Structure 1
Amino acid sequence: MGKQVNNSVNIIPLTKFLKHCLTLLLLAVSISTTAQDLPYSNGKKYTLGDITVAGNTSFSEQTIITYSGLRKGAEMNIPGEDIGAAIKKLWNSKLFSDIEVYITKIEGDVAFLEIRLSDLPQLNELKINGVKKSKFEEIIKDNKLDKGVKVTENLITTTKNYLTNKYKKEGFYNAKVYINTIDVKDSVQTSRVNMVLNIDKGEKVKIDHIIFDGNTILSEKKLRKSMKNTKQKNPIRLLKRSKYIEADYKEDLVSLIDRYKENGYRDARVISDSIIVNDDKSITLKINLEEGEKYTFGNINFIGNTVYTNQQLTRMLRINKGDTYNGVLLQKRLADQTKPDGDDITNLYQNNGYLFSSINPVEVSADNNVIDMEIRITEGKPAYFNSVSVVGNDKTNDHVIYREIRTRPGQLYSKAMVVRTVRELGQLGFFDAQEISPDFINPNPNEGTIDMQYSVKETGSSQIELQGGYGGGGFIGTLGLSFNNFSIKDIFKKDAYKPIPMGDGQKLALRLQASRFFQTYSFSFSEPWLGGKRPVQFSTSISHTKQFLFDGLTGNADKSKSFNITGVTVGLAKRLRVPDDYFTLSQALSFQRYDLNNYNTGLFTFGDGYANNLSYTVGLSRDNTNIDPIYPTGGSRFSVTAKMSLPYSLFDGEDYDQLEEDRAIADTNGDFEEVARIDQERYKWLEFYKVNFKGEWYTQVAKDLVLRPSVEFGFLGAYNNARGVIPFERFFLGGDGLGNFSIDGREAIALRGYPNQSIQPINSITGQVSNDGATIYNKFSLELRYPITLKASAKIYALSFLEGGTAYNSFRDYNPFNLKRSAGLGIRIFMPAFGLLGIDFGHGFDPVPGDTVKSGWQTHFIIGQQF
């Protein structure tokens, strides 16, 4: 019988069995067997003979057989699970479009198989129609349509759905996407196809009107305002367009009902809504409402609370009997989902260890439109941190991260400390602040333990500073290298240079700044945790600058006439615990040596000589901005600093009143050499004190829209009026703040819309504009920011601003509200390798001092600076 079957067997696809075929048909000349001989559940055991491969494939026969798991000489039931498993393995490779296994012949108990399959086609060429060429790369990248990719039905379907949804989100509600594939016929054996991607975005659907029906309590204006993302046409609106996006519209219908709930109408609902297509292809949204009746709060009782008293919880809830029912407010007071550190009852429990607590409001009565509530609380066990770990840091050493973590093993759980830890890690600048994630692992309500894992994603922490601008008579260029996660202990380890020693959180910066008229070299280093036990920052810097005198005849620098300054600064900054641990107390001791070599200008009456500046700076600052230091969305930052020298005039024995008289006589007589000698004596050691204040606040006025008001003030004074205010350390207001080319200790204060350092005081006696800088200034700024992208590779945000500032030389003339005003637009781009880049277009509404025409439009290009 075996020979007869062998001589007459047909090729039978085994996949038929796997698709519910229960009969193996063996045809012979005179003998046949029935399905009962080969039941599917048990099959018949065979030894595999040769296995061959057929079909359209570029893979070798041995590769396919090996990957299938089938091997010659193996014993298996046919039909049975082994054949099914082999087919499944080949399907899972996602390399083939058609797979079948056949019996080619049977000799006794030996079965010979053939695997017949076809390769999935590869993408040969892609043609895109219906969009601009500038969008091709984005489409290819987002949908992984690179040449050589395997073209599957799933790829075609996901690409079509992605693009359709993408354009609907952009307001093209009728967008359609068609994808065709064409086989490539050539001599190459590999199966390939050309893909044609036809995109028909259609017209952008605009909302002409939003009409409400059934509203009597709330006006249409208020209802439209409650719909944050769906707006009807309004020519004066800039930030929100009137395009129709279905997902946003559905979300806004919920916001619409929430507005009613905030006003006591808890039963309000949308009965129906419809879209009316207008003749001009715009649409009208019609929303039918049922407002219901107004409700008030009745009795509010707390059930299940043992940790906090009813009085404590009532004070936290801040809702009283008789108040208008507000379901949205009630939910926020119980658990504010929009603020992780919100002032609500859930956080009250979770900040004190009750991670597993639950709080549920239940309406127990609504008689006469008065709602009695029970706040049912399940407190659970206090939770303790069992373990705390960090993942994702490949470059930053563990101790740098763990010293910033506020949650420790064995400590009572606190949500506030988790939120604070996320902020501290984001403020380091070593990680993508948007990607830091606190994850709960193995929560155990019965034992009251939780494992905490912080996931971080490292970003480039070293920067190349390239900065350019005009000032001081020419182009100013800056080249700097800033290593913000440096490790000085590894500088002698060869293996640590990848490309530099990194991971200890230290900062090392080298900087060169130059133009035709000056050169500046500087080096700085800081260690944020001196000694490694407490957050005490040690910093030091060394700098040397040489400035050359401008030659009015040639327009070049006269290098035989120079003004040199060499300085060194050492500082300590300590994080405080009182009033809270957002405060930092900083102190610094600095020394600068000024040398003038035949450097005769109007700023100094002596051209040859020197001045020494030994000063002490103390500052108090508070920074609780969150979370991203590049784009804070909340919190505030302020600082007040005082810089002062020793009061030399109290103990140097010099009679400065007499010296001032002698100077006045010499000046009257035109004895300029004597004036220079006296000034050299006055400024041999600089005597001054200087106070600066700066404050800025961040408020999230919408989902991503951030308002940043700020205020600045500075004052430079003298201990001894006879000695006078020094010509160093003064304030120069106006422009982009790029004033580092000046080496006389001046502060360049940005005021967009005006030329650099153009806002100078006017002498109240002579009426002339001073070019020596101001001793008093103040500045007010209001900035509105909106993010375009906050990805780690590039963070981009647009901004608009209003600014005003003023500068004076005495409080007698000082008027803080007589401002030089400006407004404008700008954009900022932060890239880890280059720092912050930006450009601003500012319009100055007032003339600069000494001029009668308003400043007008000014362009400010910023590299490496931030307003």
Structure 2
Amino acid sequence: MKRFISSEPVITLLLLFFTSLVGAQELSFDDGKRYILGGLEVTGLQSYNEQTVKTYTGLRVGQPITVPGDELSEIIKKLWGLELFKDIQFHLVDIKDDQVFLELEITERPTLSDIKINGIKERKVDDIVKDTDLKKGKKITESLIANTKNYLENKYKKQGYLNAKVAIAVANDTAQTNAQKMVINVDKGDKVKIKKMIFDGNEQLADRKLRKAMKKTKEKRFWRFWKKSKFIEEDYENDLDLLADKYAEKGYRDARIISDSVIKVDENNINIKFKLEEGNKYYFGDIDFVGNTVYTDRQLASVLGIKKGDTYNGVLLRKRIADDSKPDAEDLTNLYQNNGYLFSTINPVELSAQNDTINFEIRIIEGKETYLNHVEVVGNDRTNDHVIYRELRTRPGNKYDKSNIIRTIQELQQLGYFDAEQIKPDILNANPNEGTVDINWNLVESGSSQIELQGGYGGGGFIGTLGLSFNNFSIKNILNGEAYKPVPMGDGQTFAMRVQASRTFRVYSLNFAEPWFGGKKPVRFSLNLSRTQQFGVDYASSSRSRIEVDKDRGFAITGITAGLAKRVQWPDDFFTVSHALSYQLYEFNNYDIGLFNFGNGKSNSFAYTLGISRNATMGGRIFPRGGSNFEITAKLTPPYSLFSNKDFESLRDRSQELAELEIEQGGLTAAQNQELEQIDQERFRWLEYYKIKFKGDWYTTLVGDLVLRTNAEFGFLGNYNNDVGDVPFERFFVGGDGLGNFTLDGRDVVQLRGYENQSITPVSELTGTQEGGLIYNKFSLELRYPLTLKPSASIYGLAFLEGGNAFNNFQEFNPFQIKRSAGVGLRIFMPAFGLLGIDFGYGFDEDLRPSSIGNGPSGWQTHFIIGQQF
């Protein structure tokens, strides 16, 4: 018969000695006797090795051991701590002379073989399994079940399901040894909404203002769709602080919430009742600065912006000392940190409160000036170090400047090579005694190359497009075979090529850009080569869907553009000034494009473009969260007619006569047509024009991740000589998705959603066709909200209001006469494919096509966005 030493939460050792073995001697429970361990047997094991358990106990045959004693108690504690067993018992098997023989009987806990979760969406099961660590093979314990239940109930209560209930059951799995299946039943119930918030004791602030002060705790209203009225305890506790802050902003420093209570209305609704005590209204008195040597009292008072006699505002005082909501806020803390005083501390202290006036002392400990010791960049697996270091405004030996850190983040985000959401520098090894600090820039590479592969049917045949864009290219390694992974990368250059072709046209383009031309200054060099060909088309007499292509007739544009852009320091270093020279050769071979009156010949365009831009956006290129970006450009050709001896006035008058004659006669003779062609060849042999464009984008974070983009655009195409007239190229075509992949005449294609492509284009008085506008304006409001901003794919939704129009001349121009639209859309940015999107827009007005006049609003239009600007 076995004698045992049992194990329970309060460990007990019970020895029963039989007289046949030990001569009827008795051993007290509290006594212990020293033995030599003669043997140890482990029983009850199902999945563990006996020797492993023996080794873990630390017991060895032949060692001295006291029975009962602390050694066995400690071993049992150790085994319980593993949470692998649900019962542990030591049995006294035998005693021979001074030797004791023990048996360790173990009952293993069952392992988890399968888990099923009911009551939630299938796609969320994996997340719950991961969060609760319910892996197959895990030992099932009471604490595991209790912790899982508590976690899930609290999880859903935090989401507003205050009545959420979770039940967990386990059952033996007969297909496996010592295994159990687990079933979790989740009953979230309905979200508990706040029906009413009741305020008692407020005389100075109305209920409406107090409700508005609470950002995430809102009453149930049918019109409130963005902020829900669900009750979430964590958000509620934070909003209680905002309620106190609201009073502090108005001078009521002593205002407090005496009590707040949640009153259950029914299963799905609650009321919240607040009892308030407002106290007296206070004003700022004297504000003295103590400890400041770097800045004078006057300088500090100017930044603080609070004067004696102002209504007390505790929230404003905190923000003027240190505004945590804005990294670049104009406050006293940033004033010091932007000048090298990283270790400075600033504390406002109330000296006295006399009647309704509070006197303050701003106590400043400036500390030592701080300098950067080590600056390191890690995580750039593809991008070469020099591409990153040239963008850094934090260099070893420089004085610490928080504004330079913020600006560096913006510069790295705009490169587009790294995940913008994860660019966060680590401040390390801060040493206030020596005045030094290290900075580690931890970067996560994101895809910077894109491929465009499209196919479709249009114009009587298949249209194919292949585009490759490498935005972190390395041209110096183009002959280095080992650098092709799959192409040479890492030097921050841009190399792109694009081919689009069908039976009727071909488009080729090649682009290269070096952002640091010469390697020492941020001077961007760019070069663009392009070639466009349009072939003659004859429609079969039986059907316009059947076409015959005549490659002996056609129209082609060959162009080259070279540009330099330099970042300047004035008015600030967000500005860039750019210069570009471009040449286009237009060639006609027995092809009447309808833009002017000749089908054979050539036209030339040589232009200089001056651009001034300021890019100060924050948050990255894909989803900016703040700042602005604007650009104004002027494209100018030489005024050839001013240096020519040609009589352009006579040519213009004769052209108008022939146009009027064509209307009267219903056509022109062959000789008159030839004369008209010669006139246009003379007028447009060298194109002369000037073109002014402006575009501005402003980004404002409204609440959380909700961002408002405001956009305004304007463009004007003018001439130097009215006798020469306006050029038929370079005009503005407004409407649609804004994609201008195939444009033969240098036109600007302007997006205006809710209307068909290029349909907001004025009609020519002479030809009755849409030949492009000479002036346009456009305005947009766009609300954006990110669904995910992961490196693999960034997705955001949007809603927009838009308006714009194009006009034939400045006399007709009216900035308030716009075609309006509204709608919603979705954008997806994947590094390999660039920007993809879809918009659903409703046009409230008629477009400008002759066929649309009198047909009412444009109505719903669907637009697909591929590779467009963000």
TM-score by length of 2: 0.88
**Aligned CA distance change for structure 1 residues 515 and 752 (closer, same or farther; 3 Å):** farther
Counterparts of 1:410-429 in structure 2, within 5 Å, are 410-429=397-416
Report the residue type matching 1:846 in the other structure.
Answer: D
Report the residue type matching 2:114 in the other structure.
Answer: E
Match of 1:361 among 344, 348, 351: 348
Alpha-carbon distance between aligned partners in 2 of 1:272 and 1:36, rounded to the nearest angstrom:
56
**Aligned CA distance change for structure 1 residues 251 and 722 (closer, same or farther; 3 Å):** same
Partner of 1:165: 154
Name the SS of the counterpart of 1:427 in structure 2.
Answer: helix
**Aligned CA distance change for structure 1 residues 771 and 99 (closer, same or farther; 3 Å):** farther
Cα offset, 1:801, TM superposition: 1.5
Partner of 2:599: 607
Instruction: Write the deviation string for residues 251-282 of structure 1: whole angstroms up to 9, x where unpaired.
Output: 11111111110000011111111122224732
Compare 264-273 and 678-687 and name the one that shifted more: 678-687
Partner of 1:337: 324
Cα offset, 1:522, TM superposition: 2.6
Alpha-carbon distance between aligned partners in 1 of 2:863 and 2:193, rounded to the nearest angstrom:
36
Partner of 1:216: 203
Alpha-carbon distance between aligned partners in 2 of 1:12 and 1:642, rounded to the nearest angstrom:
95
The 8 Å contact of residues 40 and 61 in structure 2, kept in 1 or not, is answered as no
Name the SS of the counterpart of 1:599 in structure 2.
Answer: coil
Counterparts of 1:675-824 in structure 2, within 5 Å, are 675-763=676-764, 770-824=769-823
Cα offset, 1:512, TM superposition: 3.2
Cα offset, 1:220, TM superposition: 0.7
Cα offset, 1:72, TM superposition: 8.0
Cα offset, 1:758, TM superposition: 0.3
Please tell me whether residue 541 in structure 1 is matched to residue 528 in structure 2. Answer: yes
Partner of 1:555: 545
Partner of 2:665: none
The 8 Å contact of residues 168 and 182 in structure 2, kept in 1 or not, is answered as yes
Partner of 2:475: 488
Instruction: Write the deviation string for residues 186-229 of structure 1: whole angstroms up to 9, x where unpaired.
Output: 2x44x433221211111211111111111110111111111111
Please tell me whether residue 328 in structure 1 is matched to residue 315 in structure 2. Answer: yes
Alpha-carbon distance between aligned partners in 2 of 1:504 and 1:790, rounded to the nearest angstrom:
25
Instruction: Write the deviation string for residues 715-773 of structure 1: whole angstroms up to 9, x where unpaired.
Output: 1122332222221111110011012222221111000111110001144x56x754111
Counterparts of 1:293-312 in structure 2, within 5 Å, are 293-312=280-299
**Aligned CA distance change for structure 1 residues 552 and 196 (closer, same or farther; 3 Å):** same
Partner of 1:182: 171
**Aligned CA distance change for structure 1 residues 36 and 821 (closer, same or farther; 3 Å):** closer
Cα offset, 1:777, TM superposition: 0.7
Cα offset, 1:115, TM superposition: 7.7
Partner of 1:3: none
Alpha-carbon distance between aligned partners in 1 of 2:266 and 2:511, rounded to the nearest angstrom:
68
Partner of 2:423: 436
Match of 2:193 among 206, 230, 250: 206
**Aligned CA distance change for structure 1 residues 499 and 644 (closer, same or farther; 3 Å):** same
Report the residue type matching 1:555 in the other structure.
Answer: S
**Aligned CA distance change for structure 1 residues 320 and 752 (closer, same or farther; 3 Å):** same
Partner of 1:5: none
Compare 263-272 and 420-429 and name the one that shifted more: 420-429
The 8 Å contact of residues 784 and 796 in structure 2, kept in 1 or not, is answered as yes
Compare 749-758 and 561-570 and name the one that shifted more: 561-570
Cα offset, 1:90, TM superposition: 11
The 8 Å contact of residues 100 and 115 in structure 1, kept in 2 or not, is answered as yes
Name the SS of the counterpart of 2:294 in structure 1.
Answer: coil
Cα offset, 1:107, TM superposition: 9.9
**Aligned CA distance change for structure 1 residues 131 and 527 (closer, same or farther; 3 Å):** same
Compare 384-393 and 586-595 and name the one that shifted more: 586-595
Name the SS of the counterpart of 2:183 in structure 1.
Answer: strand
Alpha-carbon distance between aligned partners in 2 of 1:492 and 1:119, rounded to the nearest angstrom:
65
The 8 Å contact of residues 4 and 90 in structure 2, kept in 1 or not, is answered as no
Please tell me whether residue 447 in structure 1 is matched to residue 450 in structure 2. Answer: no
Partner of 2:245: 258
Name the SS of the counterpart of 1:564 in structure 2.
Answer: strand
Name the SS of the counterpart of 1:366 in structure 2.
Answer: strand
The 8 Å contact of residues 36 and 99 in structure 2, kept in 1 or not, is answered as no
Name the SS of the counterpart of 1:530 in structure 2.
Answer: coil
Name the SS of the counterpart of 1:854 in structure 2.
Answer: coil
Name the SS of the counterpart of 1:430 in structure 2.
Answer: coil
Match of 1:572 among 564, 569, 584: 564
Partner of 1:384: 371
Alpha-carbon distance between aligned partners in 2 of 1:708 and 1:10, rounded to the nearest angstrom:
81
The 8 Å contact of residues 460 and 546 in structure 2, kept in 1 or not, is answered as no
Please tell me whether residue 29 in structure 1 is matched to residue 27 in structure 2. Answer: no
Name the SS of the counterpart of 1:320 in structure 2.
Answer: coil
Instruction: Write the deviation string for residues 346-384 of structure 1: whole angstroms up to 9, x where unpaired.
Output: 111111111111111111111102101111111111111
Compare 332-341 and 458-467 and name the one that shifted more: 458-467
Report the residue type matching 1:236 in the other structure.
Answer: W
The 8 Å contact of residues 840 and 862 in structure 2, kept in 1 or not, is answered as yes
Compare 358-367 and 560-569 and name the one that shifted more: 560-569
Report the residue type matching 1:599 in the other structure.
Answer: Y
Match of 1:316 among 299, 303, 306: 303
Give the gaps of 5 or more residues in structure 2: 662-667
Counterparts of 1:584-663 in structure 2, within 5 Å, are 584-651=576-643, 653-663=645-655
**Aligned CA distance change for structure 1 residues 795 and 734 (closer, same or farther; 3 Å):** same
Report the residue type matching 1:822 in the other structure.
Answer: S
Alpha-carbon distance between aligned partners in 2 of 1:69 and 1:430, rounded to the nearest angstrom:
55
Instruction: Write the deviation string for residues 33-88 of structure 1: whole angstroms up to 9, x where unpaired.
Output: 9999989xxx9998xx998765445466677778x597989989888999979996
Alpha-carbon distance between aligned partners in 1 of 2:376 and 2:832, rounded to the nearest angstrom:
28
Name the SS of the counterpart of 1:363 in structure 2.
Answer: strand
Alpha-carbon distance between aligned partners in 2 of 1:111 and 1:364, rounded to the nearest angstrom:
78
Partner of 2:867: 864
Alpha-carbon distance between aligned partners in 1 of 2:75 and 2:481, rounded to the nearest angstrom:
52
Alpha-carbon distance between aligned partners in 2 of 1:357 and 1:545, rounded to the nearest angstrom:
63
Count of residues in Structure 1 that have an aligned counterpart in Structure 2? 847
Report the residue type matching 1:863 in the other structure.
Answer: I
Cα offset, 1:524, TM superposition: 2.2
Give the gaps of 5 or more residues in structure 1: 1-7
Cα offset, 1:336, TM superposition: 0.7
Counterparts of 1:492-531 in structure 2, within 5 Å, are 492-514=479-501, 517-531=504-518
Alpha-carbon distance between aligned partners in 1 of 2:692 and 2:160, rounded to the nearest angstrom:
53
**Aligned CA distance change for structure 1 residues 206 and 723 (closer, same or farther; 3 Å):** same
Alpha-carbon distance between aligned partners in 2 of 1:640 and 1:239, rounded to the nearest angstrom:
36
Match of 1:348 among 314, 335, 340: 335
Alpha-carbon distance between aligned partners in 2 of 1:314 and 1:839, rounded to the nearest angstrom:
52
Cα offset, 1:477, TM superposition: 5.8
Aligned residues with identical type, % of pairs: 56
Instruction: Write the deviation string for residues 433-485 of structure 1: whole angstroms up to 9, x where unpaired.
Output: 22222222111111111111122222222223356889878886644332222
Cα offset, 1:592, TM superposition: 2.9
Cα offset, 1:780, TM superposition: 0.9
Name the SS of the counterpart of 2:217 in structure 1.
Answer: coil
The 8 Å contact of residues 275 and 285 in structure 1, kept in 2 or not, is answered as yes
Instruction: Write the deviation string for residues 10-36 of structure 1: whole angstroms up to 9, x where unpaired.
Output: 6768x89x9877999999635899999
Instruction: Write the deviation string for residues 308-349 of structure 1: whole angstroms up to 9, x where unpaired.
Output: 111111111111111100000011111111111100111111
The 8 Å contact of residues 265 and 291 in structure 1, kept in 2 or not, is answered as yes
The 8 Å contact of residues 505 and 527 in structure 1, kept in 2 or not, is answered as yes
The 8 Å contact of residues 503 and 549 in structure 2, kept in 1 or not, is answered as no
The 8 Å contact of residues 476 and 741 in structure 1, kept in 2 or not, is answered as no
The 8 Å contact of residues 594 and 612 in structure 1, kept in 2 or not, is answered as yes
Please tell me whether residue 833 in structure 1 is matched to residue 832 in structure 2. Answer: yes
The 8 Å contact of residues 5 and 89 in structure 2, kept in 1 or not, is answered as no
The 8 Å contact of residues 3 and 91 in structure 2, kept in 1 or not, is answered as no
Cα offset, 1:181, TM superposition: 2.4
Alpha-carbon distance between aligned partners in 1 of 2:65 and 2:817, rounded to the nearest angstrom:
96
Name the SS of the counterpart of 1:329 in structure 2.
Answer: helix
The 8 Å contact of residues 695 and 712 in structure 2, kept in 1 or not, is answered as yes
Alpha-carbon distance between aligned partners in 1 of 2:769 and 2:111, rounded to the nearest angstrom:
74
The 8 Å contact of residues 23 and 38 in structure 1, kept in 2 or not, is answered as no
Alpha-carbon distance between aligned partners in 2 of 1:698 and 1:172, rounded to the nearest angstrom:
35
